[in-house]
Chains A and B, each alone.
Chain A
Amino acid sequence: MTILAFDWGLVIEKLILIAVVVFGSLGIALYTTFGERKVAAILQDRPGPNRAGPFGLLQPLADGIKLIMKEEIIPTAANKWLFILGPALAMTASLMTCAVIPWGSDIELFGRKIALQIADINIGILYVFAVVSMGVYGIMIGGWASNNKFSLMSSLRAASQAISYELAMGLALIALLMTTGSLSLKTIVEQQIQGNWWNIVYQPLGFLLFFIAALAECNRTPFDLPEAENELNFGYHQEYSSMKLGFYLFAEYINMIMSSAIMASMYFGGYDLPFFDESTVAPNIAAMIGVGTLLIKIVLFVFLFMWIRWTIPRFRYDQLMNLGWKTMIPLALFNLLITGALILANL
């Protein structure tokens, strides 16, 4: 497959991988909305959606069809171009994160060694941060273009919240990077597989900070101030209807899945199944086991997100800012200091 001195097999293999990952995460996000409703129901002693199909399993399809069939409304006072750009940007930014996540170890097909990762770039985590902070533009642009006070307020909140918590998130990560010495997610996962322990053992405080910041980054309860229903009606997507609203809601769930995948990869060994020696089975089977393991870890994290959402009430805005600036960032710096000291002592 080498034509014009170029390996076209690589292109095909990556395109297939991109399609699988993108449509896979869309499908998983579809069923995460269902999962959210079921988890909420079960935690509140209700049966939840159970009408569409067996156990209500066709509910997300019904929701999707409903969203597509709804009338598309663009307010006359809205900036039309930006109004459409907003949800597109939110969706793109959340989907782009999946490019650097290592989904499993290499598999061998047709005599080719295929890495189950779209791009193993050596600045993987920086890329994730860059893309995640792009996501706030989707919210900002959408809220501003709606030409609605509540939407604008909410998007301003979202932006300030994202900026405040990204700092703590970054600082918590730097401590992790000091121990691993690499920004590539693949390398970080491989290190955890080869080493004795997952990174959570070395960085418990860092993980806690990262997790809380991830909740805030995904605009999930208790930090879902941008869509505080009781004060801002519906928040930044108030003026949106039809599939544009669907994109915003979807982007939130994809963000959740992606941050779960990143947390699993960085702190919980990624596709590493504990107490199992991958070299005892064929490499392809080992890779599949790895993918399954990572998916289970993602599902557990997503469940944790939902569990938290249906337990804790929303923070007030000043509490959010106090927590972000006066607690999270000092703690992250403290964690950085301790990690540095421990690394020095080990040397």
Chain B
Amino acid sequence: MQPLTNKAQAVSRDPMTFWERLYLINIIKGMFITFSHMFKKQPTTRYPEEKRAFSPVFRGLHVLNRDEEGRERCTACGLCAVACPAEAITMEAAEREIGEEHLYREEKYAAKYEINMLRCIFCGLCEEACPKDAIYLSETFAPANYTRKGFIYGKPDLLIPNPMTEASDLALARGVEA
């Protein structure tokens, strides 16, 4: 076979010479190799203090979007739930009442919207399926939890802060995400 790199070396089957059979010289050589590693740069990232940036296409936890006026964009059409290969998304739709126009963008909204983060495979198909720009995958990942129930994220966990009333929280969330 054609070697793919020029690093390939044939294994020597020659009987060992006296010096090789002593082992000591090769052991000392090996010890100098490990010693030289004392002065090498450590590739370790000291995690909680130092964080590696995610790639721009990272698919993390979902967020439910609001428009500029702070109204929920989701209309509970269910396309995300249909697109989801892991069947992680469930929702219940409700009709907007008079006087709730400042809460929901359109006449129909999701009264309940749940994503099971243990089922989710973070493929991003919900994001692609959404016709209303309502669901996005952010750049954080689900933190640990004590119970399985804790991994079922409801609307309060998913919705982004309201840009009208909680502008500072939103800026903070954006800053952490970036």
Contact = CB atoms under 8 A, between A and B. Distances in A.
A and B part of one assembly = yes
Given A45-B43, A46-B44, A308 B37 contact: no
A42 B38 contact: yes
Contact of A47 (B27, B31, B33, B42): B42
Interface in A87-141: none
Which of A43, A46, A310 counts the most B-chain CB atoms under 10 A from its CB? A43
Contacts of A45: 37, 40-44
A307 B35 contact: yes
Contacts, number: 33
Interface string A296-311: 0000000000011011
Nearest to A315: B23
B34 interface: yes
Interface in B10-51: 27, 30-31, 33-35, 37-38, 40-44, 46
Given A43-B37, A44-B37, A45-B37, A311 B42 contact: no
B27 A311 contact: yes
B14 to A, nearest CB: 20
A147 B142 CA distance: 46
Q: Which of B27, B30, B34, B38 has the most CB of A within 10 A?
A: B34
Chain B contact residues (Cβ within 8 angstroms of A): what range? Answer: 10 to 19
Nearest to B39: A42
B155 to A, nearest CB: 37
A311 B38 contact: no
Contacts of B33: 311
A47 B41 CA distance: 10
Contact of A307 (B31, B43, B44, B46): B31
Contact of B46 (A44, A47, A308, A311): A47
Report the interface size class on chain A. Answer: 10 to 19
A312 interface: yes
A308 B44 contact: no
A43 B35 CA distance: 6
Contacts of A50: 46
Interface string A307-324: 110111000000000000
B42 A312 contact: no
A308 B38 contact: no
B42 A46 contact: yes
Contacts of B43: 45
Interface in A3-54: 42-47, 50
Contacts of B34: 43, 307, 310-311
Given A42-B38, A43-B37, A43-B38, A311 B44 contact: no
Contacts of A43: 34-35, 37-38
Interface string A179-209: 0000000000000000000000000000000
Given A45-B42, A46-B42, A47-B46, A312 B37 contact: no
A328 B141 CA distance: 58
A42 B44 CA distance: 11
A107 B43 CA distance: 49
9 contacts: A42-B37, A43-B38, A44-B37, A45-B37, A45-B41, A46-B42, A46-B44, A311-B31, A311-B34
Interface of A: 42-47, 50, 307-308, 310-312
Interface of B: 27, 30-31, 33-35, 37-38, 40-44, 46
Report the 3 A-B pairs with minimum CB-CB distance, sorted nearest first.
A311-B34, A43-B34, A311-B31
